Amino acid sequence: MNDIPLSYSLALSAILFAIGVAGVVVRRNAIVLFMCVELMLNAVNLAFVALSPYAGVQGQVFVFFVIAVAAAEAAVGLAIMIAVFRHRESLDMKNFSLLRW
């Protein structure tokens, strides 16, 4: 448990975060987009957990909260998507460009 170098975990966190960012940029389906956001959250959680031996148990406690909030956010977000789907019959982000110039 104590012989995994910190930098390895942080590197993995970075890689996962980057993949999540790429996914957010590239995917058009709203649900998949949201899943990529969850991936990013996970990457951050990993960073917290990796640092908690050095920063204290607060790291893990914070992860706990993050997971809870992610759950709440997922619920509300998906509810919104359902509501939006009822209007547009589509979840493709390219159809939701009212903020266009």
Partner 1 sequence: MLLLQEAASAAVHAAGAAEFPPGKPWLGTEFHPVMPWLIVALPLLGFVLNGALSIIAARRALPKLPPVGDPSYDHHDDEPAVAHAAAPAHAYASVGAGDASEPSEQEGHDAGTAPHPVDAAHAHDVHDAHGHDDHAHDAHDDHAPAGPKPFTHLLPSFIAPGVMLAAFGVAVANFLRMKAAAPHAPWVHSYWDWMSVGDLHVGAALQLDQLSILMALVVTGVGALIHVFSVGYMKEDPGYPRYMAYLNLFCFFMLTLVLGASYPVMFVGWEGVGLCSYLLIGFWFKEKANADAGKKAFIVNRIGDFGFLVAMFLLFWNVGALDFVGVNEALEGSILPFAGPVITWIALFFFLGACGKSAQIPLYTWLPDAMAGPTPVSALIHAATMVTAGVYLVARSNVIFGLAPAAALVVAIVGALTALFAASIGLKQWDIKKVLAYSTVSQLGFMFAAVGMGAYASGIFHLMTHAFFKACLFLGSGAVIHAMHHALHSTHKPADAQDMRNMGGLRKYLPITFVTMAVSTLAIAGVPPFAGFFSKDEIVGAAWHGAAGGSPLSEFVFAGIPGSRWMLAIGVVLSIAAFMTAFYMGRMMLYTFFGANRTGDEERKHLHERDWTLKLPLIVLGLLAVVGGLVNVEENVPLVKSFNFFHQGEALHRWLDPVVEPGVRAAAEHARHIPPVDPEWWPIALAVAIGLGGLALAWVLLSRKPLGDAATEPAYQGGVEKALYNKWYVDEAYDAAVVKPVQGLSRGFARFDMGVLDWLVDMFGRLSQMFGVAFGRLQTGQLNTYAFVLVVGVLIVLGSFVAL
Partner 2 sequence: MQITFTQILFFFFAACAVGSAVAMVTRRNPVACAMWLIGTFFSVAAIYTLLGAFFIGIVQILVYAGAIMVLFLFVIMLLNQGNDYEPDMRGTAWKIMAGGAALLIIAFLGRVFGGEIPRPLGMEAGPQALATSTAERGVVGLIGVPLYTDYMVALQATAILLLVAVVGAVVLAKRKV
Using CB under 8 A, list all residues that contact partner 2: 1-4, 6-12, 14-23, 25-29, 31-32, 34-36, 38-39, 42, 45-46, 49-50, 52-58, 60-61, 63-65, 67-76, 78-83, 85-86, 91-92
Rounded to whole angstroms, how far apart are CA atoms 27 and 24?
6
Q: Describe the crossing of helices 58-88 and 30-55 by its angle, rounded to 10 degrees.
A: 170
83 near partner 1, judged by CB under 8 A: no
Rounded to whole angstroms, how far apart are CA atoms 19 and 21?
5
Residue among 21, 49, 66, 84 that touches partner 1 (CB under 8 A) = 21
At 75, which amino acid appears? A
Using CB under 8 A as the binding criterion, the count of chain residues that bind partner 1 stands at 15
27 near partner 1, judged by CB under 8 A: yes
Q: Which residues of 4-24 are buried (b: 16+ CB within 10 A; e: fewer)?
A: eeeeeeeeebeebbeebeebb
98 near partner 1, judged by CB under 8 A: yes
Contact residues: partner 1, CB under 8 A: 21, 24-28, 33, 93-94, 96-101
